[in-house]
């Protein structure tokens, strides 16, 4: 929508695609289920990529949606950051929950990569049949990245968020997020280069 | 002109957008500025991540369990007052006094109210009459 100011300049205002569902859930919290059904897989995905443990990912998903339901009256859609849309707000909650969970989990040994890779059966994977080796390589590469870079890549490639949305989730500008993603990609590219140079057994 | 890093980041971003859009089976042409041979490593990384990172879905049992938990929580969650529909508040019922003393007090109240109204109206008429003569 274009809004005209006194100087006749036009400003692009983004409206949340979930606005009507959010309004409905505010009027009647039982209507929150529509938002839950829409985003449960996305939140679960993010949690699983971060925690690498399906049970921990389920616990975290439950935490996020229960918090979101409780905090919905406090959520205000804004045209600009910090929380321009319901999805961004939900992922901000998710990111904080992941940080808390990581802090708590430091006292315990981390789940192995193999455990996470064994979880998805053929029925669980939504995408086309994947080469298991390719999946393991991609996962291994992003696993070595620092937290923010890894989260940015997961949000970009798995959740298919725009750079702007990712910036809002991470608390960075769009330009800074673009550079962050590019640097993460360069790091992955270097790892791939090293991997291809290494002798194969 | 943009610094080299920003320029490369913008190109990579456009390339990812094109691939992700293609993933949704919408016909697109890759941008002319897509990372070329100089950035082939980044291009390979983008392709690996785009194909290699799958989407998972939580189990049906978990999804339904959590939906049930949310429904229960929603039942006891208050609606946002600003967004809740307006509620009709009934007028308070006026109870007439049952005892003779109470009925007398009610009558006195009514008579007193009528006298006060009459005096007010007379005062207002008086002021208006005086203003009209000045």
- CA distance linking residue A179 with residue A185, whole number of Å: 10
Mean pLDDT of chain B: 77
Q: How far apart are CA B101 and CA A165, in angstroms?
A: 74
Is there a contact between B73 and A57 if contact means CB atoms under 8 Å apart?
Answer: no
Contacts of A66 in chain B (CB under 8 A): 69-70, 73
Pair A13, A84: CB distance under 8 Å: no
pLDDT in tens, B9-63: 888 888 888 888 776 544 444 455 554 444 678 888 888 888 888 888 999 999 9
CA distance A108 to A154: 24
Residues of chain B with C-beta less than 8 angstroms from the C-beta of A48: 56
* Range ranked top by mean pLDDT from A56-60, A109-113, B94-98: A56-60
Please report whether residue B34 resides in a domain: yes
Residue B112 within any structural domain of the chain: no
Range of the domain at A174: 16-197
Given an 8 Å threshold on Cβ–Cβ distance, is B70 in contact with A137?
Answer: no
> Chain B: nearest CA to A33, how far in angstroms?
7
Backbone angles phi, psi at A10, to 5 degrees: -100, 135
The complex's ipTM works out to: 0.76
Q: Do A157 and B58 touch (CB under 8 A)?
A: no
Of A30, A124, A192, the CB nearest to B56: A124
What's the domain count of chain B? 1
CB contact under 8 A, A69 and B74: yes
Residue B70 is predicted with a pLDDT of: 95
User: Residue B123 falls within a domain, yes or no?
Assistant: no
Residue B15 belongs to a domain: yes
Highest mean pLDDT among B32-46, B81-95, B105-119: B105-119
Cβ-in-10-Å burial (0-12, 13-18, 19+) of A108 comes to exposed
Q: Biggest alpha carbon distance in chain A?
A: 70
CATH number where A20 lies: 1.10.1740.10
Nearest to A158 among B55, B66, B80 (CB): B55
**Chain B residues 39-78 within an 8 A CB cutoff of chain A:** 41-42, 44-46, 48-59, 62-63, 66-67, 69-71, 73-75, 77
Torsion sign across C-alpha atoms A64, A66, A70, A72: positive
* Chain A contact for B89 (CB, 8 A cutoff): no
Contact criterion met (CB < 8 Å) for B77 and A40: no
Residue B105 falls inside a structural domain:
no
Q: Is residue B46 part of a domain?
A: yes
> How do residues A25-78 score in pLDDT, each as one tens digit?
988 999 999 999 999 999 999 999 998 889 999 999 999 999 999 998 888 766
Q: Could you tell me if residue B93 is inside a domain?
A: no
Q: Do A134 and B48 touch (CB under 8 A)?
A: yes
CB A23 within 8 A of CB B83: yes
Contact A70 B77 (CB under 8 A): yes
**A9 found inside a domain:** no
Q: Out of A72, A119, A138, whose CB is closest to B48?
A: A138
């Amino acid at each position: 929508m274009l809004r005209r100011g006194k100087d006749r300049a036009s400003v692009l205002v983004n409206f949340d695609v979930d606005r009507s569902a959010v309004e409905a859930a505010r009027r009647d919290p039982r209507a929150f289920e529509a938002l839950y059904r829409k985003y449960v897989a996305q939140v679960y995905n993010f949690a699983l990529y971060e925690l690498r443990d399906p049970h921990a990912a389920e616990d975290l998903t439950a935490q996020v949606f229960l918090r979101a339901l409780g905090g919905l009256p406090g959520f205000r859609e804004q045209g600009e950051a910090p929380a321009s849309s319901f999805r961004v707000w939900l992922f901000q909650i998710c990111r904080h929950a992941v940080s808390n969970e990581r802090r708590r989990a430091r006292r315990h040994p981390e789940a192995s990569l193999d455990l996470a890779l064994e979880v998805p059966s053929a029925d669980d994977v939504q995408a086309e049949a994947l080469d298991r080796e390719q999946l393991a390589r991609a996962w291994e590469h992003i696993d070595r990245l620092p937290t923010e870079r890894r989260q940015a890549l997961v949000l970009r490639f798995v959740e298919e968020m725009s750079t702007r949305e990712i910036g809002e989730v991470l608390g960075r500008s769009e330009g800074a997020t673009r550079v962050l993603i590019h640097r993460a990609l360069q790091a992955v590219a270097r790892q791939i280069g090293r991997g291809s140079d290494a002798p194969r057994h | 002109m943009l610094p080299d890093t920003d320029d490369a980041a913008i190109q990579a971003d456009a390339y990812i957008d094109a691939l992700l859009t293609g993933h949704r089976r919408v016909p697109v042409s890759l941008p002319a500025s897509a990372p070329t041979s100089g950035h082939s490593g980044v291009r390979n990384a983008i392709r690996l991540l785009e194909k290699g990172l799958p989407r998972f879905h939580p189990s049906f049992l978990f999804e339904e369990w959590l939906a049930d938990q949310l429904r229960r929580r929603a039942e006891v969650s208050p609606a946002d007052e600003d967004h809740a529909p307006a509620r009709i508040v009934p007028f308070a019922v006026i109870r007439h006094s049952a005892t003779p003393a109470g009925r007398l007090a009610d009558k006195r109240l009514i008579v007193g109210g009528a006298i006060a109204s009459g005096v007010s109206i007379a005062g207002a008429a008086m002021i208006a009459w005086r203003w009209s003569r000045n």
